[in-house]
Structure 1
Amino acid sequence: MPLIWFCACTQSNEHLDPTSKNNDSIAFYNREAREAQYSMQERLEFANRAFEGVREQPNHPLYTKILYNKNWLHYTLGQYDSLVHYDTIMQKNAAVNTAPKEMGMQHYLLGYYFELVKHQSDSAFKRYNRSKTYYQQANDSSGTGTALLNMGGIQYKKRDYFGSKETLTEALKYIKKETDSVTYWSAMDRIAQSHRHLHNYEEALAFYANITKEAPKANLSVYKNNYATVYIDLKKYQKAIAILESLVLDTQADSETTQARVLDNLTYARWSSGVFVKPQDFLKPLEVRKSQDDKRGIISSYLHLSEFYLKPQPELARAYLDSAKIQAKEINSSGGELEVLVFKMQLEPQNAALKERYIKLRDSLYESELKVKTQFAKYKYDDELKEQSILRLENEKNLRELELAQERFTKLWIIAALVVAILLILLIYYVQRYKARQLKIQHNIDRLSAIYDTEAAISRRLHDDFGSGLNTAMLLLQRQENIDAILDQLEKLYNQSRDFSRSLNDIDTGAGFKDALSLMLRSQVPQDTNLLLLGFHKIDWDLVRPVNKITLYKILRELMLNMRKHSAAKRVTLKFEMHSKHLKIMYSDNGKGASHEALQLKNGLRITEKRIEAIGGSISFETEEQSGFTSHIKIPF
């Protein structure tokens, strides 16, 4: 049962609340606690810091992961009291847990602890059984299979061979041979050993024939050694010797425990077949087993040595039997003690006390085995009942949640219908309001168009009438004295009338608008002032309504007149930009600017605002004294 299962760690920190300042440090310490570059003690310190961050938050998404990793480190460092303490804390919070895989790993860890450290098989079995249940909830077939494998191993050690075979057969349903071959073939080996102890030797041999043929090299020497023990039980020593001799060289790369098993079984098979063996052949694997603290292996070596010395040196045989008995009691192996009594009765066939002790222990062992079988079956049955109860409650909960969801769905439909109705009403309202606004704007446009038409007519009339009259006067006055002065004055009047006419005259809103606007802007700039037009030539003037062109023309002329008269600017910038539904112009100069109070008094600018509002546009001014003047204009298409 390797502890590699407990080294698996979850790196993701999903579902953490990003607004929590504490979560970053929790996640950091949790990651560092899993880094192999640190010593185990350093990793435990990181785990302790991470746990302090979630101690009062059992619903924290990392709570179970952090606590499991902390428990694993306590186990690895041999801090068993801390392991049990924090396991208790973890179990108290299991009801609010949403991490079944980590709970499965935690129960597996405690099962491992109870089995190998405390030698409490029933507690270990319970924990492995709970581990299996959580792994099933997490859909972790490999974890489920491994938990069942260890449960079957405990049943095997407790001589519940039939129950072990059933549990291990169930484990094979979850273990995939292709991806988890070590666990799979380990389960197959234990099933074969269960058949062996049930005296189903043919089934055991069939299993081992399959195992030794298909199993990978890892642990193959262990399986072959166990294969040989079946032949030893059948007293087919030559077949056992053939298998074991082939393993002597192969096991050099295996663990010392495996080497000792092979050598001890080979020596016993040779001796049983009549081949001469030296005591040292038994003693060598015994010393290895002692160095590895392999108690079951030590008992096996003592029994083989006692059998070896049973006839030639009965006292030495008795000494080995006493040693085997001591080891058996240390690990609560009643079966080992029973085998000791079998050999002692051969040494003292007339000893009634030994026979009585043997019968009593045999009956007790039988009752114990029966109790163990019943107990293990009860553990599994109770757990299945509990699981069924949980599933039933979950089904009831899911059914209730479904009913509530249907009720919420119906309510949502009603709310959605009301929302849609309200939105439709609002849409209709805003559409009507928009249409009314557009009609109002169109009315203002029409009114402005009429005003502009009137201005154009007045302009033409002034030019035609006033200009022609002055021209006639000039012809008449040519005959008078000081005619040059009169002509000069009349020409000046003519030019003034012409300028006035041009100020009110028609603005070309067709193909010539671009040039007319450019000419107007440049004509308004003093000689010592620079005019910069940005984006002017990129504007598609055909998209702008004629009345909007006239309005823009007059607005820009007003701004340029204001600049020429008041600002003393040395640089004027006009930036033109096309947008999806409007034309945007930004005017700026580096002149004197004006205060907000002075700006409010300028009649021309107020008229400008009214003009642009009439067509649905907008204009804004930004200025301070000695800080220049800026204006933002929006003209709709």
Structure 2
Amino acid sequence: MTTLFFTQSCEKKNQKNYKKKTDVTEINSFLAIGHKHYENEEFDSSYYYYNKAKFASELKKDTSRIIHSLSWLAQIQRNLGDYSGSESTSIEAFPLIENSKYLYGETNIYMGLGNNFLNIFDNDNAIYYYKKAINSKTDEVIKADIKNNISIAYTEKGDYQKAIQTLLPLILKKEIIDNAKTFARINDNLGRTYEKSGSSKALFYLNKGLKIRTQIKDNWGLISSYYNLSEYYRTRNSTLSNKYALIGYKKATKLNAVDDRLQCLKSIIKNTRGNKSKKYSLLYFKINDSINKVRLKSKNQFAKIKYDSSKEKDENIKLKAQKVLQLEQQQNRNFYLYLGIGIIILTSILISNFLIANNKREKIKASYTTEIRIAKKLHDELANDVYHTMAFAETQDLSTAQNKEILLTNLDTIYSRTRNISKENSIVEVGPLFLPRIKEMMSSFNNNEVNILTNGIDTINWTSLEDNKKITVYRVLQELLVNMKKHSQSTLVVITFKKNDNKLKIYYTDNGIGAAFEEKKLKNGLHNVVNRIQALKGIIIFDTKSNRGFKVSFMLPT
């Protein structure tokens, strides 16, 4: 529940804070409509208009409104659980915020990134970006909200002392006390942190936060208070714990806060037995499945909106180019010049049409391949787990602690598999975060049975490598590691990176069963590896000698 009840960025506060001499009526209209849809939780429509505002701002080179639009687009993606997409959108603003006079631009972008990392439990990066937000130009209340988020990250890390030291000075500041919502949020978070640390002070601050939120009718904040009180009483008084969880669930249902409903349902499931536990478990599955479908649909819709906007931008550029050519034709009636321009235009159109058609074919093929792979993973890895868990919930007595623990373990396994499938098919970061992302991907295959070692990865100048080659390196290594995990029975994998003579060389070695299985699999699982390398005019060599594990090396021109 911690990642659901922290403050959002200060973007709302500055929705209409624009006064420029240039004509920006159209942009402000898009921003206002986007915000209205956002308030009504119509996120698809809101995203559409903020994207139009961004496009219009780019045409006018209005940096502040570009940043403003990007921060809202990232916020919407974050609301729908698309943290990778939200992070990419926020990073688009990096080149702009350095020279922008938009006072809250840096704050919104950095807070948004901090919120993303907090949601995916990357607490160190969350703290890093929250601190960057504090260093930007913000007022004391906003700084307090940011520090509150920093304390949440410290709590999630288990550093309760730092979290408490961050929060205590805030409750003494007049500006914070005068802002009831912020004051209640800090007290509630302080109580939760004390509860985590085992302090007897927890209940005082939790009740204080609840009292303030009740007085000001802060319904969203009340969900947090009821949930945290439910967690506080879970090991102390199961009746009270269940009572607060139910109140929180009803409020979340009334406000259509689906993530909060799921969190409260988890608490209710822990406090109930028998048929009631089964009832709430099935309700949890139903809500979770429904929200996942909605978010996937929205994510696809966002991608289409971006694509259409990019296409519209290209068409505008082409129209401008055509007007320039027409003007030149009117000014100069020379037949040969006219003919030359005509030939150039015709050639450009033919080449453009060819490239567009070819690009569409490649995209369709890639999408089809990805869909097949995802469908197979869902069927092979996830469907059986869901079926067995449902069967277990229907046939077993969930009132026993052992069966309840088995159910929760099965749910956690399903969640982990789903998250892994999402990571394997997410967009590859090719910007400044490429190196930490590829390290994270490789380290995710580490476990008690397999050890992944890398050598020389930090010596490569990844920023100079073309984006498509970064994506290829990422996907090839991912494919090799997935193949290793499924088939090779390895206990050790070594991946070495070298660059010389304008060539990037990567060597993969494991101590698995080697040729006895890999030769048979080369035409299936590793077929994509060969295609990716050859598409970039690279070279790949498989060493499948018996009893020597599995070795492969590939080289890409740089």
Name the TM-score class by shorter chain. Answer: 0.5 to 0.7
The structure-2 alpha-carbon separation of the partners of 1:405 and 1:305, relative to structure 1 and needing over 3 Å to count, comes to: farther
> Is 1:394 aligned with 2:307?
no
Shift of 1:9: 5.0
- Which residue of the partner structure matches residue 364 of structure 2? none
> Is 1:164 aligned with 2:86?
yes
1: CA distance, partners of 2:77 / 2:201:
35
Could you tell which deviates more after superposition, 139-148 or 241-250?
Answer: 241-250
Q: What is the aligned length?
A: 321
Task: Write the letter of the residue equivalent to 2:165.
Answer: A
- Which residue of the partner structure matches residue 268 of structure 1? 192
2: CA distance, partners of 1:207 / 1:106:
31
2: CA distance, partners of 1:177 / 1:226:
27
Shift of 1:372: 2.6
The structure-2 alpha-carbon separation of the partners of 1:104 and 1:213, relative to structure 1 and needing over 3 Å to count, comes to: closer
> Is 1:107 aligned with 2:33?
no
> Is 1:282 aligned with 2:206?
yes
The structure-2 alpha-carbon separation of the partners of 1:6 and 1:186, relative to structure 1 and needing over 3 Å to count, comes to: closer
The structure-2 alpha-carbon separation of the partners of 1:331 and 1:128, relative to structure 1 and needing over 3 Å to count, comes to: farther
Gaps of 5+ in 1: 13-98, 409-637
Task: Write the letter of the residue equivalent to 1:6.
Answer: K
Shift of 1:320: 2.3
| 1:198 maps to which of 115, 120, 123 | 120
Task: Write the letter of the residue equivalent to 1:264.
Answer: D
| 1:233 maps to which of 144, 152, 156 | 156
SS of 1:276's equivalent in the other structure is coil
Gaps of 5+ in 2: 1-10, 335-558
> Is 1:180 aligned with 2:102?
yes
Task: Write the letter of the residue equivalent to 1:166.
Answer: S
Shift of 1:241: 0.8
SS of 1:174's equivalent in the other structure is helix
Shift of 1:348: 1.4
2: CA distance, partners of 1:239 / 1:330:
36
Shift of 1:122: 1.6
2: CA distance, partners of 1:152 / 1:294:
25
Shift of 1:275: 0.6
> Is 1:369 aligned with 2:292?
no
| 1:6 maps to which of 13, 16, 24 | 16
2: CA distance, partners of 1:7 / 1:201:
32
Give the % identical residues.
24
Q: If you compute each CA radius of gyration, which structure gives the higher value, 1 or 2?
A: 1
- Which residue of the partner structure matches residue 68 of structure 2? 146
Shift of 1:280: 4.7
Shift of 1:258: 1.5
Task: Write the letter of the residue equivalent to 1:402.
Answer: E
With normalisation by structure 2, the TM-score equals 0.53
SS of 2:236's equivalent in the other structure is coil
Instruction: Please tell me whether the aligned partners of residues 310 and 347 of structure 1 are also in contact (alpha carbons under 8 angstroms).
Output: yes
The structure showing larger relative contact order (alpha-carbon pairs under 8 Å, at least 6 residues apart) is 2
The structure-2 alpha-carbon separation of the partners of 1:265 and 1:338, relative to structure 1 and needing over 3 Å to count, comes to: same
Listed one character per residue, the Cα deviations across residues 3-57 of structure 1 (whole Å, up to 9, x for unaligned) are 6553645679xxxxxxxxxxxxxxxxxxxxxxxxxxxxxxxxxxxxxxxxxxxxx
The structure-2 alpha-carbon separation of the partners of 1:5 and 1:302, relative to structure 1 and needing over 3 Å to count, comes to: closer
Instruction: Please tell me whether the aligned partners of residues 251 and 259 of structure 1 are also in contact (alpha carbons under 8 angstroms).
Output: no
| 1:323 maps to which of 231, 235, 247 | 247
- Which residue of the partner structure matches residue 169 of structure 2? 246
Shift of 1:178: 6.3
SS of 2:92's equivalent in the other structure is helix
The structure-2 alpha-carbon separation of the partners of 1:349 and 1:198, relative to structure 1 and needing over 3 Å to count, comes to: same
Task: Write the letter of the residue equivalent to 2:288.
Answer: R
Instruction: Please tell me whether the aligned partners of residues 252 and 259 of structure 1 are also in contact (alpha carbons under 8 angstroms).
Output: no
1: CA distance, partners of 2:215 / 2:94:
34
Instruction: Please tell me whether the aligned partners of residues 164 and 194 of structure 1 are also in contact (alpha carbons under 8 angstroms).
Output: yes
Task: Write the letter of the residue equivalent to 1:288.
Answer: I
Instruction: Please tell me whether the aligned partners of residues 146 and 171 of structure 1 are also in contact (alpha carbons under 8 angstroms).
Output: no
Listed one character per residue, the Cα deviations across residues 107-138 of structure 1 (whole Å, up to 9, x for unaligned) are 1011111112x221221111111111111111
SS of 1:173's equivalent in the other structure is helix
Listed one character per residue, the Cα deviations across residues 507-545 of structure 1 (whole Å, up to 9, x for unaligned) are xxxxxxxxxxxxxxxxxxxxxxxxxxxxxxxxxxxxxxx
Pairwise CA RMSD: 2.7
Instruction: Please tell me whether the aligned partners of residues 251 and 258 of structure 1 are also in contact (alpha carbons under 8 angstroms).
Output: no
Shift of 1:176: 4.0
Aligned residue runs from structure 1 range 541-552, under 5 A: none
SS of 1:179's equivalent in the other structure is coil
With normalisation by structure 1, the TM-score equals 0.47
The structure-2 alpha-carbon separation of the partners of 1:146 and 1:178, relative to structure 1 and needing over 3 Å to count, comes to: closer
2: CA distance, partners of 1:395 / 1:3:
40
The structure-2 alpha-carbon separation of the partners of 1:294 and 1:401, relative to structure 1 and needing over 3 Å to count, comes to: farther
- Which residue of the partner structure matches residue 146 of structure 2? 223
